[in-house]
Structure 1
Amino acid sequence: MFADSLCHLTAPEIDQPSVIVDQSLKRQITMINLSGTHPEDWQAQRRLAQASPQMRFNLNFGIHPWWVSDDKALMNNYIDRLEQEIHLCHGIGEIGLDYARVKTESERTLQQELFAKQLAIACTASKPVIIHCVRAHHHSPQILRNHSKWGLRGAIHGFNGNHKILDEYLDLDLYISLGPHSIKSFSKGWLPHIPANRLLIESDAPQPRPEGLSTPDGIFEIAEKMTRYRQETADQLLTLSRKNLYDVYNLSE
């Protein structure tokens, strides 16, 4: 049995998520970790989980940095809803920083503030976090470090950095989740240094591909590409990933 450590089956471009769930089960993917981006997406996750009881879903509610706004009333509403609905989810995410999407220092500050607020909520509720970080690795570790003393745990989604950045996140006891955007930097030499008990594999579906949008079974291709740089087989890597995902969320089989 296998697990997809992060995907977006409730994304609007997916017309029939239940079909993808059935296809995933045929490939022995029996657990899917869903990533949330805003309140409407959280509700879509709940509907999908109710409609597909044969799949084990982890629901994650979070306000993605792409949804950050200078509308304070809207942001406060989102935070209030997250606090009210946190008992309905397994984790908080995906949350974080994405400086590729903003141009000004004030926009970056808004992302940082929302990130910190959601981390505080996660620590108070003892929920793991899924962390999105693009072009912001010089800021993300410090914000995370500020919350580490409160029992912060979670995973860096789609890691695509270098050895130094990897060490910073490992020092924070975070898990490292590798997806399609990670592949291009496998050759930089950091991949063998991820401890076996900190490794996750994600499809990050749906991602555009020549043959169409990706699906959770993309984890098999990613694991196969990883074998060029690690000693484990693809099946061993996927087995490790499933076990580690259960550990992140304190789940039992």
Structure 2
Amino acid sequence: MQLIDIGANLSHDSFDHDRDAVLQRARDAGIAQLVVTGASREHSPKALALAQAHPGLLYATAGVHPHHAVEYTDECDAEMRALHAHAEVVAVGECGLDYYRDFSPRPSQRRAFERQLQICVDLAVEGVGKPLFLHQRDAHADFMAMMRNFDGKLGPAVVHCFTGTRVELFDYLDQDWHIGITGWLCDERRGQHLRELVKHVPAQRLMIETDAPYLLPRTARPQPSHRRNEPMYLAHIVEELARDRGEDVAVTAAATTATARAFFRLPAPAL
């Protein structure tokens, strides 16, 4: 069983002391490839460096999360565009809107999101189109309105770490966007509604991710004392997802892997 983790924050400092061991445990758990999330001016270059250090295993995204939107200056925009010149960077983002935390003012969030959507448009014009790696929390109306402003100009998109409502899910599916499912599915306090919703996501639109070091699946056993999530737990997430979809785990694993490989244009790993 080969799996692809489409979103792991492996540049996070909690991995600095044992990153190689984390990657080995991921391989041992069937993780064939991982996309390292770039979500700030600091961590997007680090994501690229990790991908360059582990060719064929790690790939990267480059973007600025709405939490960091205030740092999105002209200089930041130039930095992001330079990162996207590298083939190891396979998606634009993490970008979007987050009105739940409001760590950056909402006008700043919208400006940063719009500029990153424009990067996606410009890459397509240049013939090196890349998909979008999107974040949305408690900002659905503005998020959809901003995406509609770019109708027909953007390529594929994935709403990463989907935790939303049925209405939100079907709005995304109506746009042919992809859905990323994390260990939030395993949270009996917040994720119970996802157990039903994941049945409605077509296989060719469904991908899986850990969002490590965040969102350790609460149903994984044994639970580590440090509570840090890591990519090896993707195997547990796909088991839970398969059960909720009424599928054999091998079917769900194969489908999510094929979908992720096509979405990010990842080559098959060397055996």
Structure 2 length-normalised TM: 0.84
Using the TM superposition, give the Cα deviation of residue 208 of structure 1 relative to its aligned residue in structure 2, in angstroms: 6.0
Q: 1:173–1:115: structure 2 CA closer, same or farther, 3 Å change rule? A: same
Counterpart in the other structure of 2:245? 230
Deviations 1:46-101 (A, max 9, x none): 33223334x522210001111111x6xx6221111112221112111111111122
2:153 corresponds to which letter in structure 1?
A: W
* 1:84-99 correspondence runs (5 A): 84-88=82-86, 89-99=89-99
Q: 1:182–1:157: structure 2 CA closer, same or farther, 3 Å change rule? A: farther
Q: Which runs of 4+ in 1 moved over 3 A?
A: 185-188
The reply on whether 1:68 has 2:69 as its aligned counterpart is: yes
Distance 2:149 2:172 in 1: 13
Deviations 1:186-243 (A, max 9, x none): 4563211100110001011112655121111221221222233212122221221111
Unaligned runs of 5+ in 2: 124-128, 217-222
Counterpart secondary structure, 1:82: helix
Unaligned runs of 5+ in 1: none
Counterpart in the other structure of 2:126? none
Counterpart in the other structure of 1:41? 43
Counterpart in the other structure of 2:136? 133
The match for 2:200 among 160, 178, 193 is 193
Counterpart in the other structure of 1:28? 30
Distance 1:41 1:52 in 2: 17
Q: 1:244–1:103: structure 2 CA closer, same or farther, 3 Å change rule? A: closer
Deviations 1:166-199 (A, max 9, x none): 1111111110000022441445632111001100
* 1:90-239 correspondence runs (5 A): 90-102=90-102, 107-125=105-123, 126-183=129-186, 184-186=191-193, 189-207=196-214, 209=216, 211=224, 212=226, 213-239=228-254
Deviations 1:115-135 (A, max 9, x none): 111011112211111111111
Using the TM superposition, give the Cα deviation of residue 162 of structure 1 relative to its aligned residue in structure 2, in angstroms: 1.8
Distance 2:264 2:151 in 1: 17
Q: How many residues align?
A: 247
Counterpart secondary structure, 2:15: coil
Instruction: Indicate the percent of aligned positions where both proteins have the same amino acid.
Output: 24
Distance 1:150 1:182 in 2: 32
Distance 2:39 2:26 in 1: 22
Counterpart in the other structure of 1:57? 58
Q: 1:58–1:82: structure 2 CA closer, same or farther, 3 Å change rule? A: same
Distance 1:163 1:215 in 2: 28
The reply on whether 1:78 has 2:76 as its aligned counterpart is: yes
Distance 1:56 1:7 in 2: 13
Distance 2:195 2:57 in 1: 35
Structure 1 length-normalised TM: 0.90
Q: Is residue 154–residue 175 contact of structure 1 (8 Å, CA) maintained in 2?
A: yes
2:69 corresponds to which letter in structure 1?
A: V
Counterpart secondary structure, 1:93: strand
Using the TM superposition, give the Cα deviation of residue 11 of structure 1 relative to its aligned residue in structure 2, in angstroms: 0.8
